Amino acid sequence: MTDRRGDRRGGRTGVWFAGARGSVATTAVAGAAAVRTGLAGAAGLVAETGDFRGAGLPALSDLVFGGHDVVQTPLVKRAEQLASAGVLPAAVAAAVRPDLLAADAEIRDGHDGGEPPSAAAERLAADMTAFRDRHGLDRVVVVNVSSTEPPAPRRPEHQDLDALERAIAAGDEVLPPSSTYAYAAFRAGCPFVDFTPSTGPRLPALDALARSRGLPYAGSDGKTGETLLRSALAPMFAARALRVLAWSGTNLLGGGDGATLADPAAAASKTASKQRGLAQLLGRPVDGELHIDYVPDLGDWKTSWDHVLFEGFLGTRMTLQFTWEGCDSALAAPLVLDLARFTARAHEAGEAGALVPLAFFFKDPAGTTDHRLDAQYTALREWAARRLGAGAGAGERPEESA
């Protein structure tokens, strides 16, 4: 078996999951091992394509996994469940068992709001720091793949870092769990990726903390299915001067994500994230609603159906309908690995604050309102070439190859 390694400059990189025993994290750990050892191909991994071969990204073989979770199901058991559901090939789940055991040994008790915020942040940051020191890692990227939270009310303390830290020290429950993870990550010197629509680092005070520490962050809400199609198709209507009158969508979800989103409060974060980009893509709000329904028997699979009503020449009305059926974890896991690698390289390159070029991966990207998929990919590729070094010779920075 061969080891897939690209041109790189960075050393060993930790990937620390919030939600480390969930389906996405388990699939990411298993998938990284399978691709690294040649058990599987690199389908779905943008970072493995030729456009980013010279970007100096950490290799899959340089990733070390750990994380936090509030559940106790071992990764090996979770992988067996995913194999039974057809998400992971059974042979792969068995072959990567040592990698799953190694990652499971690095999972610590998570945070769900049940302890004082100062104590929670200190404990979470200590776990991240200890992981980095224990493995001699160059950096650790914290990736939030935990359950979606209800929208968090904005507070005055969210605007100012000093006020936020005073509130935390006083024991005020000022941050939701996802933002507590981001706060702890920045305090530990770790870049942060929010793959969920939860609040995470999207507060002015946390942005200020990240910038003061020279740390990049990316988010939010990974773009894996229906919204991916919308971001590709909506610009087509705009470019061809076809007036979209209504765009409605229905999503059927199983698994833990579906169970979480059965709660209307949690679903509000997801639907707002999915809908926000459509008006920007089309240049104006349009009629139509988005529904998310929980269907337990779907398990890790999801189906979305969209109905687009549009007006053409002479007012002629027409429709586009499409159905997307996919496996949530198999769609999300490669993006999680890509994001960890790009964010690690951005940290190495001295980037800080919101990583706008990573908008390509998100429904509701931080730092930009441009949701066009082709434009986002162009921005990602140009950023990699200009800032990270894609297109330079192996092991060379752009200025070294000039």
Over range 273-290, report the average pLDDT.
84
Q: Determine the pLDDT at residue 7.
A: 44
How high is the pLDDT of residue 259? 74
Mean pLDDT of 123-146: 98
pLDDT greater at residue 400 or residue 35: 35
Judged against a pLDDT cut of 60, whether residue 110 lies above it is answered with yes
Q: What is the pLDDT of residues 342-356, one digit of tens each?
A: 999 999 999 999 999
Tell me: pLDDT of 275 over 90: no
How many other C-beta atoms are found inside a 10 Å radius of the C-beta of residue 320? 15
Residue 6 above 80 pLDDT?
no
Predicted confidence band at 273 (pLDDT cuts at 50, 70, 90)? low
pLDDT digits (tens, 9 = 90+) for 175-185: 999 999 999 99
395 pLDDT higher than 60: no
In terms of Cα–Cα distance, which of 19, 2, 13 is closest to 333? 19
Question: In the structure encoding, which two tokens stand for residue 7, read together?
Answer: 């041109």
| Confidence label for 9 from pLDDT (cuts 50, 70 and 90) | low
Report residue 161's pLDDT band, with 50, 70 and 90 as the boundaries. very high
Q: Which of 160, 189, 209, 181 is nearest to 20 (CA)?
A: 181
Sign of the alpha-carbon torsion through 57, 60, 64, 66: positive
Instruction: Report the alpha-carbon distance of residue 103 to residue 17 in Å, rounded.
Output: 10
User: What is the pTM (predicted TM-score) of this model?
Assistant: 0.91
Q: Any idea which of 34-38, 66-70, 73-77, 147-151 has the lowest mean pLDDT?
A: 147-151
How do 301-311 and 107-109 pair as beta strands?
unpaired
Residue 208 pLDDT greater than 90, yes or no: yes
- Domains plus CATH for the chain? 13-222+330-388 (3.40.50.720), 226-328 (3.30.360.10)
Euclidean distance between the first and final Cα of the chain, in Å? 36
Element housing 295 (H / E): none
pLDDT for 396 beyond 90: no
Candidate from 162-171, 296-305, 357-366 with smallest mean pLDDT: 296-305
Q: What's the pLDDT band for 8 if we cut at 50, 70, 90? A: very low
Q: What is the pLDDT of residues 19-64, one digit of tens each?
A: 999 999 999 999 999 999 999 999 999 999 999 999 999 999 999 9
Q: Assess whether pLDDT exceeds 90 at residue 274.
A: no
More confident residue, 283 or 379: 379
CA nearest 27: which of 14, 38, 17, 37?
17
Nearest to 9 by CA among 326, 349, 324: 349
| Model pLDDT, residue 399 | 36
Q: What pLDDT is attached to residue 171?
A: 94
Angle at Cα 110 formed by Cα 13 and Cα 105, nearest 5°?
Answer: 55
What's the mean pLDDT when you consider all of the chain? 91
pLDDT-derived band at 398 (thresholds 50, 70, 90) equals: very low
Q: What is the pLDDT of residue 278?
A: 87
Candidates 83, 112, 91; CA nearest to 34 is: 91
Write the DSSP string, 134-170.
HHT-SEEEEEE-SPPPPPPPP-GGGT-HHHHHHHHHT
* pLDDT tens by residue, 298-338: 988 999 999 999 999 999 999 999 999 999 999 999 999 99
- Give me the pLDDT at residue 264, please: 77
